Amino acid sequence: MQAIRVHQFGEPEVMKLETLPDPTPGPGEVLIRVKAAGVNPVDTYIRAGSYGKLPMPYTPGLDAAGTVEAAGVGVKVFKAGDRVYMSGTLTGAYAEKALCKVEQVHRLPDKVTFAQGAGMNVPYATAYRSLFQKAQAKGGEVVLVHGASGGVGVAAVQIARAAGLIVIGTAGSDRGLALVKEQGAHHVLDHRKPDYLAQVIGLSDGRGVDVVLEMLANVNLGKDLTIMAPGGRVVVIGSRGSVEVSPRELMVRDVTVLGMVLFNATPSETASIHAALVAGLENGTLRPVTGRELPLAEAPQAHKAVMEAGAYGKIVLIP
């Protein structure tokens, strides 16, 4: 099979397409023929070496969708040909085939494309965990999805809207703002404008927001704390540096700041997340948006694109 391989950390060009033997599924494992692989910002951090040591060489990618090629001994729930998406893999998603543990494999309904399925795992699981397992969001509350035009943001807007929250989403391009509105945000704001957060208080009937899902905390956390309702919760999902905050803003409204990394979810939390996500795909609540498809060999271009401004849903690689 063909797979992207990384032999040393570095710039996107360290990713090369190579030919490898097909993996064989062992007991409790499933081999997936990848039809589309999702590109996440975390893939670029890992490739650059910021996530620490990794056995080299490796194949990048945590997210993909495709069909079951073969199931190992003891796997009863999947058979060859089943449509599936994965939540992590043993061998890497940027490849024609990927080996998974059976618990990393989830059914993909017929009406969902493989490119959409490739956008499920990290973005939707992050959005779901942040909203419900971390912020304990409830219907009727106001959520600010601070960075709503990318993978996690689109997922969060769809999930929050379906759960009955009032959704305010931000983006930094006109195309992104239109996308966030189409995905169900009640209100959209442009995070390029200097005074955009001043409008949040008015949009939340003067109370402020109950929940912030923050994609760029190093830029926004200090400002987020000034627009919170009493008892508000900020979930820090993304951050690319440090930030100054005024602790007094936390105190006066009993605000909680919650850190969250998807990799810290326990196996039972992960199983619960994907049970909910599969149900959301089945009933049409969840509709992953694919902004761009690139051939597998263009993984370096995909890594550059995912870090650029002007996000529009997901970037996926097609083997």
Binding site for ligand NAP (CB under 6 A): 40-42, 122-123, 126, 146-153, 170-173, 176, 191, 215-216, 219-220, 237-238, 260-262, 306, 309-311
Q: CB of 236: closest distance to ligand NAP in angstroms?
A: 8
Question: At 158, phi and psi to the nearest 5?
Answer: -65, -45
Q: CB of 272: closest distance to ligand NAP in angstroms?
A: 16
Question: Which residue number, 132 or 282, has a Cβ lying nearer to ligand NAP?
Answer: 132
Distance CA 74, CA 61 (A): 26
Question: At 251, phi and psi to the nearest 5?
Answer: -65, -50
Q: CB of 150: closest distance to ligand NAP in angstroms?
A: 2
Question: Which residue number, 116 or 149, has a Cβ lying nearer to ligand NAP?
Answer: 149
Q: CB of 21: closest distance to ligand NAP in angstroms?
A: 31
Which residue minimizes CB distance to ligand NAP?
150
Distance CA 210, CA 152 (A): 19
- Helices 41-48 and 299-306: crossing angle, nearest 10°? 110
Q: CB of 63: closest distance to ligand NAP in angstroms?
A: 10
Give residues with Cβ within 8 angstroms of 156, minimum separation 6: 127, 130, 131, 143, 145, 148, 213
Give alpha helix (H) positions in 183-265. Answer: 198-203, 217-224, 247-252
Residue 62 vs residues 87, 190, 315: alpha-carbon distances, Å: 7, 30, 13
Question: Which residue number, 30 or 177, has a Cβ lying nearer to ligand NAP?
Answer: 177
Question: Which residue number, 150 or 208, has a Cβ lying nearer to ligand NAP?
Answer: 150
